[in-house]
Amino acid sequence: MKVPAPHNPAQAGHLPIPRLSDLVPLPLATLDADSKVPVDIYLDHDGDWVLCRRAGDLLSAEVRRELLEAGQDALWMPLQQRDNYLQHLRSSIQGEWNPRSGIVWVSNFLEQHSAERPQAIEAIYRRLRYALLLAHDVGIHCGDLLDDFCRGMLLLGAQLEGLDVSTLAEEHRCGDSVRAILEGHRERFDGTGPRSWSREQQRLPVRIASLVVAFDEATMGGAESETNHRRCAFDVLRSFIVEDHGAYDPRLVAGFIRILER
């Protein structure tokens, strides 16, 4: 694969080669094409760390597509720039939040943990980012359904990250979609999940949550996220169709592939 070069190779040449301990995972799927990247992004090219783009550089649609197709989308960013990436995730999804929405209350509650648990907050917003892309692709754009869906994904993220939301007001933890997401995110589309929910019981929010959680675990490496156990996005989504046939709604998987190919 031809490694995309930085826009300013001379400047990049004066940067010290980072150590793995100085880097944290960054999935390309969370970055938009033809937009400025919020952090320095590195890729592992034959065992060498290569600076792909500097913070503020444009990530063209062509480079983004090349990286995805080559399986080089498991990128890395400097640990000290994590706050910049977290702000990027916030801004990419906060446009969905009506000021009167219950989503704001849940988000503000979670933000109380941002200082001591930045990795957890990052993971919560990352999953919500994927979920919103899929929700919009299937026509969930606004209203109470989107509000419940976002709150459900935020609370699910908190649950997966071990954060205690019991002190959050009950009105922000209730709703049919919220409860369904929290209870059914491990269900299988073919009805053989832990609760044996049928397809009819698995409404769209549940099916999206199930796919997003599995995708994020595979592309970030789960508990091994600081190692090389991460898998590229397209390989993961294709395996959901072929190897894990029946586990996830194939229309959502196909939609996710289309989203990443844009």
Q: List per-residue pLDDT tens for the chain, 262 residues long.
A: 455 555 444 344 456 677 878 999 999 999 999 999 999 999 988 778 889 999 999 999 999 999 999 999 999 999 999 999 999 999 999 888 877 788 999 999 999 999 999 999 999 999 999 999 999 999 988 888 899 999 999 999 999 999 999 989 888 888 889 999 999 999 999 999 999 999 989 999 999 999 999 999 999 986 544 455 889 999 999 999 999 999 999 999 999 999 999 8
Residue type, position 28, single letter: L
**Backbone CA torsion sign across 17, 21, 27, 30:** negative
Q: What is the pLDDT of residue 15?
A: 62
Residue 22 CB burial class (10 angstroms; 0-12, 13-18, ≥19): middle
Instruction: Quote the CA–CA distance of 98 and 95 in Å, as a whole number.
Output: 8
Q: How far apart are CA 122 and CA 82, in angstroms?
A: 9
In 10 A of CB 16, how many CB atoms? 6
Residue showing tokens 């990352």: 126
Q: State how far Cα 122 lies from the chain centre.
A: 9
Alpha carbons 30 and 92: distance in angstroms, whole number: 9
Amino acid at site 131: A
CATH of 97-261, one of 1.25.40.10, 1.10.3210.10, 1.10.3720.10, 3.20.20.70: 1.10.3210.10
Residue showing tokens 């929290």: 182
Locate 116 and state its tokens.
């001591």
Distance CA 154, CA 89 (A): 13
Q: Retrieve residue 1's tokens.
A: 């694969």
Buried b / exposed e across 34-64, counting CB within 10 Å, b at 16+?
A: eeebbbbbbbeeeeebbbbbbeebebeeebb
| Cβ 252 vs Cβ 134: under 8 Å | yes
pLDDT at 9: 43
With b for 16 or more beta-carbon neighbours within 10 A and e for fewer, the 108-121 pattern comes to: ebbeebeeebbebb
Q: Domain boundaries in the chain?
A: 1-81, 97-261
Q: Which helix (H) or strand (E) holds 53?
A: strand 48-53
What's the predicted TM-score (pTM) here? 0.90
Closest-CA residue to 249 (of 200, 211, 205): 211
- CA angle, corner 216, sides to 196 and 1, nearest 5? 135
For 107, how many CA atoms within 13 A lie in the half-sphere containing its CB?
A: 19
Token digits of residue 250: 């194939």
pLDDT at residue 158, rounded to an integer: 96
